[in-house]
Amino acid sequence: MSQLTSEQIAAGEARFILPGENLEVVEGWGGASNSVAYVFRPSTFDEVRSVFELARQSGRTVAFRGAGRSYGDAALNAENAVLDLTRLNRILAWDPAGGTITLEPGVTIRQLWEYVLPHGWWPPVVPGTMYPTLGGCLAMNIHGKNNYREGPIGDHVTEFDLLLPNGDLKRCSRTENVELFDAAVGGFGILGCFTRITLRMKRIYSGLLNVEAITARSLDHMVEIFEQRTAGADYLVGWIDALAGGSHVGRGVIHAANYLAEGADPHPERTLRVESQQLPDRILGILPKSMLWRLMRPFMNNTGVRVVNGLKYHASALLDRGRVVRQSHVEFAFLLDYVPNWKQAYGTGGLIQYQSFIPREHAADVFRRQLVLAQEAGFPPYLAVFKRHRADRFLMTHGVDGYSLALDFRITPRNRRAIWDLAAQLDEIVLASGGRFYFAKDSTLQAQSVEQYLGSDAVERFMRLKRECDPEGILETNLYRRLFGARAGDQILFRGER
Amino acid sequence: MNLPWKHAIVVGASSGIGEAIARRLVRAGCRVALIARRADRLEAICAQLNREAGSEVAIAVGHDVHVHEEIPWLFQNCALRLGGLDAIFYAPGVLPRIAPDEYDTATDVETIQVNLLGAIAWLNQAALRFEKTGRGTIVGIGSIAGDRGRRGNPVYCTSKAALATYLESLRNRLGRRGVKVVTAKPGFIDTEMTHGLTGMIWLISADRAAELILRAARRGRTTAYIPERWRLVGLVVRMIPSFLFRRLNV
């Protein structure tokens, strides 16, 4: 049975009522966008198939959702079905000698590292939080602080099975269905559902990393340090004080980390235990960290962040000089998990993250202009994170040989319009420099900008694969309609606003 | 007027207060499903609104409020086509002209059907959804006539009193979930329904009534007299003891 068009539905050809008890408000992680959807939580792939069928009968579309850690509207599907895949979270196979693991899409990064660490392995690529699912990570093709070395997570996937809306399973690898492999990784879940993912872990010899903090006086200085360090550091990440102006624009602190070589850790059997990786749940042994966001709340304004950032920068400049400390992998990798519920400090309007990826030669210039534009508009980002990247093979990739800057903007009902306008201004600079964007973070992009940075050829190829994998157009998200709705043409069922 | 809703359903949008509410919603940037029996009039209104807006912001849905069984599906389908739902307005109302000694059950049942049962059938759907999602605004159009059982039109008064009680119950059920339920009680409004009535005081236009209703709904008022000066009248009318009220010519 083919999917009904809106005209047919309006004409009353399908009068299928969806279960009202499945209605939920589904939110993007940043909390600045949400919509109501019929949420289903399957525990088998047969149930996933039956939701496809339900969608067909009721003339609705289906979106996949993992942990809901995408900042914007990537896992929203207004008034349609959302498949929460977090219950499909079994580890299917694990080879502790070779470091290859096969898992279901709902397995989280946390489940993964806790599973492999005691055997002396670590996921080769992890995001800044351990809560996303592997299905989500693969759909977004996430990267870590080692992107310039290890590439995105897709580079470590050997094969996966993709469940198409018609019920077929497609095995994809570097040799089989290669085109689909390169498009589904980073294809934001719009081609099919990962059911079985195989990826390789990285051998480690200690649960600790050597971490060094380096202060950068300006954006140029930061780029200079990154360029010097990329050859020697396993991980590099820069924090930028986005409120610093004038000659200090782009000042911040860089953290460079290295794995410990075999034998460098006297007690690897201890540090490789899951317990030794846990983040402390109290600050200084007293204050419960679950309360910390409440203390941050009063500082979440331009003045407050300016003061805190200034203190942080100068404290680091004074104290950190060349000092190397040992930190657990968890402490270093999952910085965003350090303060539980920190996003609540942004208030009820939530936040958006604006992240752009700029070729190396333009990066310092573009990011300086972005920071100044945001400051001039009166909306300095409250968090700014700088990373080094490399280009990769994936069709819809955000990877470039260059740098990214991720800017967190607090959203309120009053500034919303202005922030979106600011984002449009920032987009222009990015596009002019040959930069790229990232669907996991995006809330503000426009369709024509996506066409421009990906190139018409890439979008054309992607839409061809979409038609092949999902001819009925069952799979949609708010993000897909917002950015590819015009391209999908008549295949798009719902033409409401995002 | 600045309104907080992006997606709304207006039942009874082909004329009178319902039409005026729908027009104001659309002009405030809201996507609206206009629902009424008279499809041709709806189409014309939607065509005009969409032309003004330059995009499809008003959707015409032909429906007779007697047909309860199609309402759950229509409700879901409107939300789908709108891309969401933040508010619903139930405006249909009939005021049959009856003689002082007339007791016609068929007429009375029809009044209850349109004024009350249709409202229950539509607003139950909204209550179901808004309770699940913890947001939303429900607006029912009652009447000052519902404040007392008057001699003029027993069942019209009954239908509006029952509607007010139903809405109060919804409010008490849903209020704690963050849902606003608003009872609007218009006085005399210049619409097709009141056309030819005599002795109307403080008559206002349907558009003015819509403006006042939307303002009250935006504020989440529980009961709003339209215009507000009727509140005092309502208060007095409700306090008159029955033995006196019987003797009055109201």
Closest Cα of chain A to B112: distance in Å? 27
Nearest Cα to Cα of residue A428 among A446, A409, A402, A441: A446
Q: Is residue B161 part of a domain?
A: yes
Contacts of A11 in chain B (CB under 8 A): none
Q: Is B128 on the interface with A (CB under 8 A)?
A: yes
Residue among B72, B84, B132 whose CB faces A78 most closely: B84
Q: Is B83 on the interface with A (CB under 8 A)?
A: yes
Q: Is residue B208 part of a domain?
A: yes
The whole-angstrom distance between residue A107's C-alpha and the CA centroid of its chain comes to 16
Among all residues of chain B, which has the CA nearest to that of A36?
A: B84
Task: Give the number of beta-carbon pairs within 8 Å between A and B.
Answer: 55
What is the per-residue pLDDT for A4?
42
What is the per-residue pLDDT for A320?
77
Contacts of A497 in chain B (CB under 8 A): 6, 31, 83
Percentage of chain B with pLDDT > 70? 100
What backbone torsions phi and psi does residue B140 show, to the nearest 5 degrees? -115, 145
Residue among A10, A18, A494 whose CB faces B76 most closely: A18
**Contact across the interface for B83 and A6, Cβ inside 8 Å:** no
- Alpha helix (H) residue ranges in chain B: 16-27, 39-53, 71-82, 105-112, 118-133, 154-174, 206-219, 230-239, 242-245
Among all residues of chain B, which has the CA nearest to that of A16?
A: B73
Tens digit of pLDDT for each residue in A468-483?
Answer: 999 999 999 999 999 9
Residue among B6, B83, B132 whose CB faces A79 most closely: B83
Question: Whole-angstrom Cα distance, residue A266 to residue B247?
Answer: 101
Residue that is written with structure tokens 């079985």 in the block: A196
Q: Is B100 on the interface with A (CB under 8 A)?
A: no
Q: Is residue B139 part of a domain?
A: yes
Question: Whole-angstrom Cα distance, residue A182 to residue A394?
Answer: 5
**Contact across the interface for B79 and A80, Cβ inside 8 Å:** no
Whether residue B196 has pLDDT greater than 90 = no
Tens digit of pLDDT for each residue in B1-19?
Answer: 899 999 999 999 999 999 9
What is the per-residue pLDDT for A498?
34
Q: Is residue B58 part of a domain?
A: yes
In DSSP notation, A118-147 reads: GGTEE-SS--S-S-SBHHHHHHHT---TTH
**Contact across the interface for A17 and B76, Cβ inside 8 Å:** yes
What is the per-residue pLDDT for A9?
47
Contacts of B80 in chain A (CB under 8 A): 9, 59-60, 79-80, 494
Confidence of residue B86 (pLDDT cuts 50, 70, 90): very high
Closest Cα of chain A to B52: distance in Å? 18
Report, as an integer, the average pLDDT of B158-174.
Answer: 98
Q: Is residue B179 part of a domain?
A: yes
Q: Residue B117, SS3?
A: helix
Contacts of B76 in chain A (CB under 8 A): 17-18
**Contact across the interface for B132 and A497, Cβ inside 8 Å:** no
**Contact across the interface for A36 and B129, Cβ inside 8 Å:** yes
For the domain that residue B169 is a member of, what is the CATH number? 3.40.50.720
Per DSSP, B245 falls in state H
Does domain A91-203 fall under CATH 3.30.465.10? My reply is: yes
The number of distinct structural domains making up chain B is 1
Cβ neighbours around B147 below 10 Å, total: 21
What is the per-residue pLDDT for A338?
85
Closest Cα of chain A to B80: distance in Å? 5
Residue among B79, B132, B134 whose CB faces A79 most closely: B79
The Cα angle at residue A434 between residues A432 and A437, in degrees rounded to 5: 105
Question: Which ipTM did the prediction report?
Answer: 0.90
Question: Whole-angstrom Cα distance, residue A212 to residue A233?
Answer: 10
Tens digit of pLDDT for each residue in B105-156?
Answer: 999 999 999 999 999 999 999 999 999 999 999 999 999 999 999 999 999 9
CATH number of A6-85+455-491: 3.30.43.10
Mean pLDDT (chain B, rounded):
96
Q: Is residue B141 part of a domain?
A: yes
Question: Whole-angstrom Cα distance, residue A376 to residue A3?
Answer: 49
Domain range holding B219?
A: 7-245
Write out residues in chain A with pLDDT < 70, as ranges.
1-14, 490-498
**Contact across the interface for B80 and A60, Cβ inside 8 Å:** yes
Sequence-distant (6+) residues with CB within 8 A of A386 are A222, A226, A237, A238, A239, A240, A252, A367, A403, A404, A405, A406
CATH number of A208-450: 3.30.70.2520
**Contact across the interface for B83 and A60, Cβ inside 8 Å:** no
Contacts of A21 in chain B (CB under 8 A): 132
Q: Where are the domains of chain A?
A: 6-85+455-491, 91-203, 208-450
Beta bridge pairs of residue A384: A407
DSSP E strand stretches across A351-447: 351-359, 383-389, 402-410, 436-437
Among all residues of chain B, which has the CA nearest to that of A497?
A: B83
Q: Is residue B2 part of a domain?
A: no
Following CA atoms A494, A50, A3, B85 in sequence, which dihedral angle do they give, to the nearest 10 degrees? Answer: -20
Question: Whole-angstrom Cα distance, residue A92 to residue A495?
Answer: 40
What is the per-residue pLDDT for B140?
98
